[in-house]
């Protein structure tokens, strides 16, 4: 079944893409003959601007997936629900509504969580279907659910926090999930920020779908915020798993992206606003 994936929101607009806008965030539209899924919604400004200019009608969406609660992935949710104009399932992890913060360079904590109340979103049509489980949400489209942390080197971003009583603790990102799309050749892994770690996520999918190779990875890897050892181990694992296409977006960062492009050559694509691929 042909599946088209199109990046609607990302940090960067390629030079040839007149009239589109970039913002710090991510959103991707999945289209199959009988199914359309909006994966993340960006930060709130770019989604409704870019979607029609890329020929995508959000009204046709059957479901929304939220990769995690960060506002650069959920900030466009109210606008998306308004544009879609009907009740539809919104899939995610039960932890998406947690308060969360990012520490700025000046030491101040800035709110970084989902910027809407659940009740308000439900009033706009969101039928939340929240679960930590690995599950299939449409034929051949699965969510990883909560990703087990199995290695010592994917330590994540040290600037992201959740409140615990009077103090702030490192955000454990239990709500971070990715989407897995199956085609005749194997699997495509679609990431929001991949705060769980790309190796942890690849391992989890391999454990849950043994014998089905991941040939493509698209989305934010968060490697730009990770320690060098994590980047080294990630490169070694991507080589070992023979991932053929690496579509880097969003929080991968320019330096980590350049490093991966140097390692993997033509296998790397920068998936900015308007990037589109069709899988068989
Ligand atoms: Fe992000
Ligand atoms: Fe994030």
CA of 50 to the centre of ligand 1 (A): 18
Residue ranges in the chain assigned as alpha helix (H): 46-53, 71-74, 77-84, 118-123, 198-208, 228-241, 254-264
Statement: residue 199 has pLDDT above 90: yes
At 45, is the secondary structure helix, strand, or coil? coil
CA of 140 to the centre of ligand 2 (A): 25
Task: Measure CA of the first residue to CA of the last residue in the chain; give whole Å.
Answer: 6
Ligand nearest to the CA of 112: 2
Helices and strands: H and E segment counts in the chain: 7, 18
pLDDT value of position 18: 82
Q: Given its phi and psi angles, is residue 51 left (phi above 0), alpha (psi -120 to 50 degrees) or beta?
A: alpha
At 235, is the secondary structure helix, strand, or coil? helix
pLDDT value of position 135: 98
Statement: residue 66 has pLDDT above 80: yes
pLDDT value of position 84: 98
pLDDT value of position 226: 85
Number of neighbouring beta carbons within 10 Å of residue 251 = 26
Q: Mean pLDDT score of the chain, rounded to an integer?
A: 96
CA of 17 to the centre of ligand 1 (A): 22
pLDDT value of position 73: 98
Statement: residue 25 has pLDDT above 90: yes
Statement: residue 16 has pLDDT above 90: no
What tens digit of pLDDT does each residue of 102-118 get? 999 999 999 999 999 99
Statement: residue 17 has pLDDT above 80: no
What tens digit of pLDDT does each residue of 124-156 get? 999 999 999 999 999 999 999 999 999 999 998
pLDDT (average), residues 29-53: 97
CA of 144 to the centre of ligand 2 (A): 16
pLDDT value of position 166: 93
- CA 230 and chain centroid, separation: 19
Ligand nearest to the CA of 194: 2
pLDDT value of position 219: 98
CA of 25 to the centre of ligand 1 (A): 5
CB 44 within 8 A of CB 20: no
At 166, is the secondary structure helix, strand, or coil? coil
CA of 33 to the centre of ligand 2 (A): 30
Give 177's contacts (C-beta < 8 A, 6+ positions apart). Answer: 67, 68, 92, 93, 143, 144, 145, 146, 147, 192, 196
Statement: residue 58 has pLDDT above 80: yes
Statement: residue 11 has pLDDT above 80: yes
CA of 210 to the centre of ligand 2 (A): 28
CA of 84 to the centre of ligand 1 (A): 23
Token pair 């790309």 is found at 198
CA of 251 to the centre of ligand 2 (A): 8
Ligand nearest to the CA of 69: 2
Characterize 186-211 residue by residue with b for buried, 16 or more Cβ atoms within 10 angstroms of its Cβ, and e for exposed: bbbbbbbbbbbbbbbbbbbbeeebee
Ligand nearest to the CA of 113: 2
CB 195 within 8 A of CB 261: no
CA of 68 to the centre of ligand 2 (A): 7
CA of 91 to the centre of ligand 2 (A): 17
CB 204 within 8 A of CB 191: no
CA of 211 to the centre of ligand 1 (A): 30
CA of 100 to the centre of ligand 1 (A): 13
Residue 261's pLDDT band, with cuts at 50, 70 and 90, is: very high
pLDDT above 90 covers a percentage of the chain that reads 95
pLDDT value of position 225: 85
What tens digit of pLDDT does each residue of 209-229 get? 999 999 999 999 999 888 889
Ligand nearest to the CA of 70: 2
Ligand nearest to the CA of 176: 2
Statement: residue 243 has pLDDT above 90: yes
Kindly state the tokens that stand for 215.
């040939």
CA of 212 to the centre of ligand 2 (A): 27
CA of 193 to the centre of ligand 1 (A): 5
pLDDT (average), residues 35-56: 98
């Amino acid at each position: 079944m042909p599946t088209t994936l199109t990046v609607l929101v990302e940090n960067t607009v390629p030079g040839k893409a007149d009239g589109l806008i970039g913002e710090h965030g991510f959103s991707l539209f999945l289209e199959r003959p009988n199914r359309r899924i909006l994966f993340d919604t960006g930060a709130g400004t770019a989604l409704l601007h870019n979607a029609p200019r890329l020929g995508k009608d959000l009204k046709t969406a059957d479901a929304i997936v939220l990769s995690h609660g960060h506002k650069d992935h959920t900030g466009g949710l109210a606008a998306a629900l308004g544009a879609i104009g009907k009740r539809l399932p919104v899939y995610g992890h039960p932890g998406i509504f947690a308060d969360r913060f990012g520490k700025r360079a000046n030491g101040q904590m800035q709110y970084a969580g989902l910027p809407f109340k659940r009740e308000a979103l439900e009033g706009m049509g969101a039928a939340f279907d929240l679960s930590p489980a690995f599950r299939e949400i449409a034929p051949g489209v699965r969510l990883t659910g909560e990703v087990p942390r199995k290695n010592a080197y994917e330590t994540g971003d040290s600037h992201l926090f959740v409140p615990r009583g009077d103090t702030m603790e490192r955000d454990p990102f239990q709500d971070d999930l990715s989407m897995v799309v199956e085609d005749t050749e194997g699997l495509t892994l679609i990431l929001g920020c991949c705060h769980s770690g790309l190796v942890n996520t690849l391992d989890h999918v391999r454990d849950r779908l043994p014998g089905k190779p991941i040939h493509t990875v698209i989305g934010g890897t968060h490697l730009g915020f990770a320690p060098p050892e994590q980047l080294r181990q990630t490169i070694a694992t991507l080589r070992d798993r023979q991932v053929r296409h690496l579509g880097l977006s969003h929080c991968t960062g320019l330096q980590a992206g350049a490093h991966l492009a140097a390692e993997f050559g033509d296998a790397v694509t920068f998936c900015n606003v308007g990037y589109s691929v069709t899988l068989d």
